[in-house]
């Protein structure tokens, strides 16, 4: 069985490849697709075949899928372009007769208030309509998403957000990557959608406390409203569009988009998910 991992030079894609290897996949059975193959040189050194794969270049996508049985489609990072990019992989997978397509989607995508949700929903619909055997993994937040907040807290002693008292069931990227490896290597899971989240949901007071533990200083959570957040972000040099996008994400979180008590992720990977403090420690 040959497994292609898209976006293999990125944070999640690289961890998926490492998780496949850790779970016993032979390096020769893994294909790592990367827009810039040089950025995946470390994977090539492990015996993994690295091939060019650019979501915006359908020819590179089709070439990467030759003789591939399973595709792990890591969602793209370019908001507004992702559905078109994902469609190129889905179409190529259909043409190649792929036996399993795994997609990293967003938690409760079809009902999510997050501005990121629509492109995930479109992609899920396209996958189901394609007739491909699929596994959709709806990922909650990555704990590593708070890297910039942690760096800012190291200077200011504050975490500032407009999420109110919302809770977030984050897990580490490695946890989510391991789930991809599990469903790629195991038989079954076909035509299944899994909601994946960390075992423990936390609020931003908990986040501030975790950051304080990691940084060795007091950190507090400062609650602000959306208008104040946009003003603060633009004062830091962000353009209005980017500031509005960040504030919209917080509004979705405030509405409960990332709160969950689902433990499917830990059941899939066979261990507890990574605690928030542990995940933050990897960022310093």
pTM of the complete model: 0.95
Q: Could you give the residue ranges of the DSSP H alpha helices within the chain?
A: 11-22, 41-44, 58-64, 82-96, 117-130, 147-156, 173-185, 204-215, 226-235, 240-254, 264-269, 276-281
Letter string b/e over residues 229-262, b meaning 16 or more CB atoms within 10 A of that residue's CB: bbebbeeeeeeeeebbebbbbbbbbbebbbbbeb
In whole angstroms, give the CA distance from residue 187 to residue 1.
11
How far out from the chain centre does Cα 228 lie? 28
Provide the percentage of residues in the chain whose pLDDT is more than 70.
Answer: 100
How far out from the chain centre does Cα 222 lie? 27
In whole angstroms, give the CA distance from residue 65 to residue 88.
11
**Pairing relationship of beta strands 49-52 and 30-34 according to DSSP bridges:** parallel
Hey, what domains does the chain have and what are their CATH numbers? 3-139 (3.40.50.720), 140-171+198-260+274-284 (3.90.25.10)
In whole angstroms, give the CA distance from residue 85 to residue 66.
18
Contact 5, 102 (CB under 8 A): no
Q: What is the pLDDT of residues 238-271, one digit of tens each?
A: 898 899 999 999 999 999 999 999 999 999 999 9
At 110 the pLDDT is 97
Q: Can you tell me whether residue 101 is helix, strand or coil?
A: strand
Contacts of 275 (CB under 8 A, 6+ apart): 200
Q: What is the pLDDT of residues 88-134, one digit of tens each?
A: 999 999 999 999 999 999 999 999 999 999 999 999 999 999 999 99
Going from the first residue of the chain to its last (284 residues), give the mean pLDDT of each consecutive group of 10, the final group possibly shorter. Answer: 95 97 97 94 96 94 95 91 95 96 98 96 98 98 96 96 97 98 96 98 98 98 95 89 92 97 97 98 94
């Amino acid at each position: 069985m040959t497994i292609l991992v898209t976006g293999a030079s990125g944070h999640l894609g690289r961890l998926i490849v490492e998780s496949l290897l850790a779970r016993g996949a032979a390096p020769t059975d893994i294909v790592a697709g990367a827009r810039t193959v040089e950025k995946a040189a470390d994977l090539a050194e492990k015996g993994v075949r690295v091939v060019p794969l650019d979501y915006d270049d359908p020819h590179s996508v089709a070439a990467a899928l030759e003789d591939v049985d399973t595709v792990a489609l890591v969602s793209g990072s370019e908001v507004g372009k992702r559905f078109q990019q994902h469609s190129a992989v889905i179409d190529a997978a259909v043409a190649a007769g792929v036996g399993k397509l795994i997609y990293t989607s967003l938690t409760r995508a079809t009902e999510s208030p997050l501005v990121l949700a629509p492109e995930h929903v479109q992609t899920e619909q396209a996958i189901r309509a394609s007739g491909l055997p699929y596994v959709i993994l709806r990922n909650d937040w990555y704990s590593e998403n708070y890297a910039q907040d942690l760096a800012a807290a190291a200077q200011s002693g504050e975490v500032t957000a407009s999420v109110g008292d919302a809770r977030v069931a984050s897990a580490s990227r490695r946890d989510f990557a391991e789930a991809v490896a599990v469903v790629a290597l195991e038989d079954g899971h076909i035509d299944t959608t899994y909601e994946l989240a960390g075992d423990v949901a936390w609020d931003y007071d908990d986040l501030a406390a975790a950051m304080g533990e990691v940084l060795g200083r007091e950190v507090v959570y400062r609650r602000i409203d959306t208008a104040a957040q946009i003003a603060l972000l633009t004062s830091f040099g962000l353009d209005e569009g980017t500031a509005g996008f960040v504030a919209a994400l917080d509004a979705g979180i405030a509405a409960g988009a990332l709160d969950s008590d689902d433990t499917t992720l830990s059941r899939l990977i066979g261990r507890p998910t990574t605690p928030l403090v542990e995940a933050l420690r990897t960022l310093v």
